[in-house]
Structure 1
């Protein structure tokens, strides 16, 4: 039976997070990337909710969460997730599934709460500050988004055009993300302050690198990690994603999804469900 999704809000200090839940059992929290929202997991959540309690979060500033002026470094964003999971929902231990910017948030979360995070499943993103040259991670829009105020001015009123460019170019095929999903993402990012909040994640990258290097100095992560990069040439991260996570965690497996680009969870949802069911099942239900 399909599990119904329910929507909630949690006031957590300076931020109000919107999140979606379903199911019961061991808890799995889902973290989205840019320019997406919790909605990117829509085809994954019902299947996993048959065996797990699933929680999909709109990260600080994005989706239908509030947009504080600051706090877009992944260390701070990860603490939003921790307060939601631990303080609001009462979860002592949980799994994390992440994509794009959700991946660095997942790393910062796990590095600060090593006993609480049972496993990490991550798609098409490396970890900033993993010891590799940052140029291996960055693409043209990293520099553009990092410029103060400029991208907000240039995309104002043109959010639809700008975001659809990424949706069209980021997959193994131009229609990798459905029209309904594109409309939902454009709705979310056309709200006042949403594009600025998204750009602020990129502006915080130097701080993320410094924080992650400090986390790594405390030792690699011990929880198991599943990591896949998109295999579409020039689009997905390929093996670079898994190689990055191998630099920051002891036990990493995965590889490349040949018939997907950057949007793996939306391009190959049935495949992602199978991988998650198998990987999470190995971790037990305690």
Structure 2
């Protein structure tokens, strides 16, 4: 199992901070109808904020790719569908808390960007898996695949290769 820049909800270990505390948008997005009301018609400004401000390198996401995301989000029903992920956070936290009572036996790879979730991803992976690897990617924000493409591709390939041999 691999997870890149993924927040973990519902865990309980020393030093754990629920991601809803430091990341304002998670709580806001959980209120899907209010968020939709505030964002509709402003999709470009809203998405640009996330692609620029949640990056270590604000230019990592080219303007033409931002425009594609904006075009998709403006399609009927897409904004609401995107917010459904956030609306599910309370249930996700409950399920994760229940599942984490016994550590996972499968290998787990977890990376977080130094200027985003940082050690949260790897620390959470260590708390829920007997075989966790990964860490913090320096000079990287939330958009790992855009900011550190080569690094994360190599890490994933090596992990899957080790996992295929039962050595991850």
| Structure 1 segment 136-285 matched on structure 2, within 5 A | 136-138=18-20, 139-217=23-101, 219-232=102-115, 236-284=116-164
Distance (Å, rounded) in 1 between the aligned partners of 2:148 and 2:62: 12
Partner-residue secondary structure (3-state), 2:130: coil
CA contact (8 A) 2:4 2:111 kept: yes
**What RMSD in Å do the two structures reach over aligned CA positions?**
1.9
Deviation per CA, 1:128-186: give whole Å up to 9, x if none. 11225885312111121122511111111111111111001011021121223212211
Partner-residue secondary structure (3-state), 2:12: coil
Unmatched runs of 5 consecutive residues or more in structure 2: none
CA contact (8 A) 1:128 1:134 kept: no
Task: Report the alpha carbon displacement of residue 285 of structure 1 after superposing the two structures with TM.
Answer: 6.6
Task: Report the alpha carbon displacement of residue 269 of structure 1 after superposing the two structures with TM.
Answer: 0.7
Distance (Å, rounded) in 2 between the aligned partners of 1:184 and 1:122: 25
The count of residues paired between Structure 1 and Structure 2 equals 163
Distance (Å, rounded) in 2 between the aligned partners of 1:151 and 1:249: 34
Task: Report the alpha carbon displacement of residue 267 of structure 1 after superposing the two structures with TM.
Answer: 0.7
CA contact (8 A) 1:126 1:242 kept: no
Structure with the bigger RCO (C-alpha within 8 Å, sep 6+) is 2
Structure with higher helix content: 2
Partner-residue secondary structure (3-state), 2:100: helix
Partner-residue secondary structure (3-state), 1:136: coil
